[in-house]
């Protein structure tokens, strides 16, 4: 539980305080003092009467009542210390820096449990153990450096890892990013990332609180709570970016279907973040860069002007933006020619706008004015300006400062010379600005923000889905495992998902008669083996009854084969939709290109069921193969609206048939008019 004593204590004691600033107990006391804590500050050190000029007590039993206790003592001493402070000194908040608890040994876990029982019994807050502490505008209760600039409108950082929080701060400080609070939850025995986020949501005051949250999380213990409070904060006007560590491909579980082979905890995280509206980052540099972008005026469009005096960085930035689906439009026509006439000969205005190394601060000012007022197809300006050391940049950066304060379009400063022009950059940051020293990281971060959806609605799309029929079919299925094709067809039809006509039989004459009724050419598939293609169980373009009879005999001899299925031969772009149940998260729905490419390319995107149409479109458009879906190089695309509709209906099916643990539809065949499911498998566990 987060309380006043933790956030705004009137008194703090450092137990294990030291004059040695290289020890946690010494460093944290120094940070409290230099941070200007205004309450009563106390120390406990049996060998000293004063520690860093703070009155020291020999034992916690001698202390007066104290709101917050920070423990920097061996783990084995912590349980008794917490008990004395909570029982006799009215201490209702604890930050335990010490390691040696549940993260190391079973005995340590028992100590941790004892502490938790004590703080819960007295209604106290507990941060840690095994953390760097808490930093806010009231008290600097961390033993680490750097201490960033703090103000109430700065960023809130919540981190599972203390060391990672420090490295995030290192990355942020050189960019000029300011903070409101830093939370290192450590082992999170009582208060974890989800708890801090919940508190920020339930107590959010838009007039006073920071609207930017950065998160580093290693284990999502309660996905529903994280989803609820993150999306709630975003709807209230906040912006959230997060890193989720520990979800690499090496941790994926092997499974027998296409979906099982590609679904992972990473898919679930991607889906959760998509539904919540969280910008997902994959490195500290990305996270702090996104945080800096959040501090600037909100982007209203996807068209960028790049202004620079160095060609290479401008090109690399244009490439990074284009790769992320953002636009660097060509600037041409009378206005562009007019601008070119105001610059030195040789300058380029096509975009990137290169004013040359000899360009002046006045040229920079003119270009920004043109981008703001005359080029109507520009939504934001990216200004790249460094120096090889031949000139100072004070005047140029002053122009940027003035323009950033007055321009109605966002300006993103890329000042790469943080060493050569260190003094100039430092002065620029002191004026309250941020700096993006690397243009490609900025381009990637902008893409991540612009391609992140708004929080999804909580409504379930029911149109076209027969829920009572779905339940009746599920109840009829006699056993667990992969279900028979006729049950698969029935479930998809009940969900309103179009599926190709198919006939399944182990009788050759029935099969041939059905094929002659459907009409050749047809497709034949073995029923039984999971991966049909791998065992020669799929034959395309069968043109005659004689050919079908031969394939029937061959495929029925395949191990585990118990029937043959035939379908009319259709054409179209092969697509894929799958789903897998992930513990704690629920059903993760995947989509991408189909056929064998889904496992080879692994170009899939994920969403968390049930899905809204906005989420479905976001999933489709985030695919690297989206250009194929739209239609490329003269080829017709597929019906994106139908694809989204099938994704949504599948997610609704899963919402009301939770017994489905794994399924995939592969392929669906898509044309510009329609999409139809050709092959599907479903595994259930009742």
Q: Report pLDDT digits (tens) over 538-571.
A: 999 999 999 999 999 999 999 999 999 998 988 8
**Final residue in a domain of this structure, among 134, 155, 187:** 134
Q: What are phi and psi of 416, to 5 degrees?
A: -75, -20
Torsion from C-alpha of 552, 557, 558, 560, nearest 10 degrees: 110
Domain count of the chain? 5
Asked if residues 20 and 29 have their Cβ atoms less than 8 Å apart, the reply is: no
H/E element, 51: strand 50-51
Radius of gyration for the chain, computed over Cα atoms and rounded to the nearest angstrom: 31
**Is there a single domain that holds both residue 473 and residue 599?**
yes
User: Mean pLDDT of all residues in the chain?
Assistant: 93
Q: Is residue 263 scored above 60 in pLDDT?
A: no
Domain of residue 262, CATH code: 3.40.50.261
The reported pLDDT for the residue numbered 602 is: 80
Instruction: Give the single-character DSSP code of 364.
Output: H
Q: Please count the other Cβ atoms lying within 10 Å of the Cβ belonging to residue 300.
A: 11
**Among residues 217, 150, 155, 156, which one has the least CA distance to residue 186?**
217
Dihedral angle, C-alpha 177, 178, 183, 186, nearest 10 °: 40
Same domain, 462 and 599: yes
Give the residue carrying structure tokens 């975009």.
Answer: 351
User: Average pLDDT for residues 610-624, to the nearest whole number?
Assistant: 93
Secondary structure (3-state) at 495: coil
User: d(Cα 645, Cα 591) in Å, to the nearest integer?
Assistant: 12
The predicted pLDDT at position 252 comes to 37
Q: Is residue 317, in this structure, part of any structural domain at all?
A: yes
Give me the phi and psi of 592, to 5 degrees please.
Answer: 175, -165
Q: Domain check: are 531 and 550 in the same one?
A: yes
Which residues contact residue 236 at a Cβ distance below 8 angstroms, ignoring those fewer than 6 apart? Answer: 201, 204, 206
Q: How far apart are CA 679 and CA 657, in angstroms?
A: 20
CA distance 152 to 512: 76
Same domain, 125 and 232: no
| pLDDT category of residue 262 using cuts at 50, 70 and 90 | very low
Asked whether residue 439 is domain-assigned, the answer is no
Q: Is residue 69 part of a domain?
A: yes
- State how far the Cα of 258 lies from the Cα of 595, in Å rounded to an integer: 10
Is 72 in contact with 13 (CB distance < 8 Å)? no
Per-residue model confidence as pLDDT tens digits over 135-157: 999 999 999 999 998 999 999 99
Domain of 563, CATH number, reads 3.30.1490.20
Of 294, 310, 330, which closes a domain? 294
**CATH number of the CATH domain containing 590:** 3.30.470.20
The full DSSP string for 176-200 is T--EEEEEE-TT-SS--HHHHHHHH
State the burial class of residue 473 (Cβ atoms within 10 Å of its Cβ: 0-12, 13-18, 19+). Answer: buried
- Closest C-alpha among 335, 359, 414 to residue 381: 414
Please report the pLDDT score of residue 264 as a whole number.
54
In a domain, 114, yes or no: yes
- Residue by residue, DSSP assigns 285-336 as HHHHHHHHHHHSPPP--SBEEEEES-HHHHHHHHHHHHHTT-B-PPP-SHHH
Q: pLDDT band at 232, cuts 50/70/90?
A: very high
**Whether 231 and 83 share a structural domain:** no
Contact assessment for residue 660 and residue 682, using Cβ atoms and an 8 Å cutoff:
yes
Residue of 253 and 208 predicted with greater confidence: 208
549 and 601 assigned to the same domain: no
Neighbours of 476 (CB within 10 A): 9
Q: What is the DSSP string of 115-135?
A: HHHHHHHTT-EEE-SSS-EEE
Mean pLDDT, range 19-31, rounded to an integer? 97
CA distance 272 to 265: 10
What is the spatial distance between Cα 113 and Cα 117, in angstroms, rounded to a whole number? Answer: 6
Percent of the chain with pLDDT over 90: 85
Are 287 and 310 within one domain? no
Question: Is there a single domain that holds both residue 346 and residue 494?
Answer: no
- Kindly give the pairing relationship between strand 93-96 and strand 150-159: unpaired
Over residues 59-81, the pLDDT tens digits come to 999 999 999 999 999 999 999 99
Mean pLDDT of 293-315: 94
Query: Is 179's pLDDT higher than 60?
Result: yes
* Partner residues linked to 591 by β-bridges: 577, 605
Q: Sign of the CA dihedral 604, 605, 608, 611?
A: negative
**Span 380-411, pLDDT tens digits:** 999 999 998 888 999 999 999 999 999 999 99
Over range 624-635, report the average pLDDT.
Answer: 84
Model pTM score: 0.88
Same domain, yes or no, for 55 and 74?
Answer: yes
What DSSP designation does 160 have?
A: S
In a shared domain, residues 543 and 599: no
Q: How far apart are CA 137 and CA 148, in angstroms?
A: 11
The mean pLDDT of 282-304, rounded to a whole number, is 96
**What are the φ/ψ torsions at residue 620 (nearest 5 degrees)?**
-65, -45
- Beta partners for 27? none
pLDDT of residue 247: 61
Taken in order 75, 79, 81, 82, the sign of the CA dihedral is positive
* Tens-place pLDDT, residues 491-539: 999 999 999 888 999 999 999 999 999 899 999 999 988 788 889 999 9
What is the distance between the alpha carbons of residues 189 and 124, in angstroms, rounded to a whole number? 13
Reply yes or no on whether the pLDDT at 90 is more than 60: yes
Q: What is the pLDDT of residue 248?
A: 55
Which residues lie closer than 8 Å to 207 by C-beta, 6 or more apart?
A: none
β-strand pairing of 563-568 with 503-505? antiparallel
Categorize the per-residue pLDDT at 349 as very low, low, confident or very high, splitting at 50, 70 and 90.
Answer: very high
Same structural domain for residues 551 and 577? no
CATH number at residue 33: 3.40.50.720
Q: What is the pLDDT of residues 34-59, one digit of tens each?
A: 999 999 999 999 999 999 999 999 99
Residue 261 has pLDDT above 70, yes or no: no
Same domain, 241 and 339: no
Give domain status of residue 449, yes or no.
no
Among 235, 270, 294, the domain boundary falls at 294
Instruction: Read off the pLDDT band of 311 (50, 70, 90).
Output: confident
311, with CB counted inside 10 A (0-12, 13-18, 19+), is middle
Distance CA 339, CA 56 (A): 69
CA atoms within a 13 Å half-sphere pointing along the CA-CB vector of 364: 27
Q: Which domain holds residue 519?
A: 504-569
């Amino acid at each position: 539980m987060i309380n006043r004593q933790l956030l705004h204590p009137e008194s703090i004691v450092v137990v294990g305080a030291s004059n040695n600033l290289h020890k946690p107990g010494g460093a944290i006391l120094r940070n409290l003092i230099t941070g200007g804590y205004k309450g009563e500050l106390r120390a406990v050190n049996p060998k000293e009467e004063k520690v860093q000029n703070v009155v020291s007590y020999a034992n916690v039993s001698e202390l007066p009542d104290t709101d917050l206790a920070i423990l920097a003592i061996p783990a084995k001493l912590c349980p008794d210390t917490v008990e004395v402070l909570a029982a006799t000194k009215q201490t209702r908040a604890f930050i335990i820096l010490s390691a040696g608890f549940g993260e190391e040994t079973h005995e340590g876990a028992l100590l941790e449990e004892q502490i938790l029982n004590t703080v819960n019994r007295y209604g106290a807050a507990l941060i840690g153990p095994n953390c760097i502490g808490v930093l806010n505008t009231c008290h600097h209760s961390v033993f680490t450096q750097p201490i960033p600039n703090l103000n109430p409108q700065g960023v809130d950082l919540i981190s599972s890892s203390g060391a990672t929080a420090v490295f995030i701060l290192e990355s942020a400080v050189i960019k000029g990013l300011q903070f409101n609070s830093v939370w290192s939850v450590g082992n999170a025995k009582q208060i974890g990332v989800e708890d801090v986020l919940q508190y920020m949501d339930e107590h959010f005051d838009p007039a006073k609180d920071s609207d930017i949250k950065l998160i580093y999380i290693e284990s999502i213990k309660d996905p529903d709570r994280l989803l609820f409070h993150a999306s709630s904060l975003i709807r209230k006007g906040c912006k959230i970016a997060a890193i989720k560590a520990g979800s690499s491909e090496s941790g994926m579980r092997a499974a027998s279907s296409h979906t099982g082979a590609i679904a992972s905890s990473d898919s679930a995280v991607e889906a959760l973040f998509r539904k919540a509206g969280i910008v997902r980052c994959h490195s500290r540099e990305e996270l702090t860069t996104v945080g800096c972008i959040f501090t600037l005026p909100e982007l209203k469009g996807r068209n960028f002007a790049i202004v620079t005096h160095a060609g290479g960085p401008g090109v690399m930035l244009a490439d990074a933006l284009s790769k992320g689906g953002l636009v660097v439009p060509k600037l041409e026509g009378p206005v562009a020619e007019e601008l070119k006439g105001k610059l030195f000969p040789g300058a380029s205005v096509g975009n990137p706008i290169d004013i040359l190394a000899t360009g002046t601060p006045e040229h920079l000012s003119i270009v920004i004015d043109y981008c703001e007022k005359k080029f109507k197809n520009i939504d934001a300006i990216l200004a790249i300006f460094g120096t090889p050391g031949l000139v100072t940049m004070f005047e140029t950066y002053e122009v940027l400062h003035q323009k950033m304060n007055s321009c109605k379009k966002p300006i993103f400063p890329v000042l790469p010379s943080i060493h050569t022009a260190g003094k100039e950059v430092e002065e620029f940051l002191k004026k309250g600005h941020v700096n993006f020293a690397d243009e490609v990281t900025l381009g990637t971060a902008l893409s991540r923000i612009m391609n992140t959806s708004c929080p999804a609605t909580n409504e379930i799309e029911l149109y076209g889905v027969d829920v009572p029929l779905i339940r009746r079919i599920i109840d009829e299925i006699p056993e667990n495992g992969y279900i028979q094709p006729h049950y698969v067809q029935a479930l998809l039809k009940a969900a309103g998902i179009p599926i190709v006509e198919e006939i399944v039989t182990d009788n050759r004459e029935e099969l041939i008669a059905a094929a002659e009724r459907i009409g050749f050419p047809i497709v034949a598939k073995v029923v039984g083996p999971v991966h049909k293609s791998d065992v020669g169980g799929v034959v395309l373009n069968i043109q005659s009854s004689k050919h079908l009879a031969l394939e029937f005999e061959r495929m029925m001899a395949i191990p585990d084969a118990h029937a043959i299925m035939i379908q009319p031969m259709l054409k179209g772009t092969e697509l894929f939709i799958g789903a897998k149940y992930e513990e704690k998260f629920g059903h993760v729905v995947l989509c991408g290109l189909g056929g064998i490419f889904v496992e080879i390319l692994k170009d899939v995107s994920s969403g968390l069921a049930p899905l809204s149409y906005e989420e479905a479109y976001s999933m489709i458009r985030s695919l690297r193969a989206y250009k194929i879906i739209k239609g490329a190089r003269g080829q017709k695309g597929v019906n994106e609206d139908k694809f989204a509709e099938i994704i949504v209906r599948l997610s609704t099916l899963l919402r009301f048939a939770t017994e489905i643990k794994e399924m995939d539809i592969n392929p669906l065949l898509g044309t510009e008019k329609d999409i139809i499911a050709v092959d599907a498998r479903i595994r259930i566990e009742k």
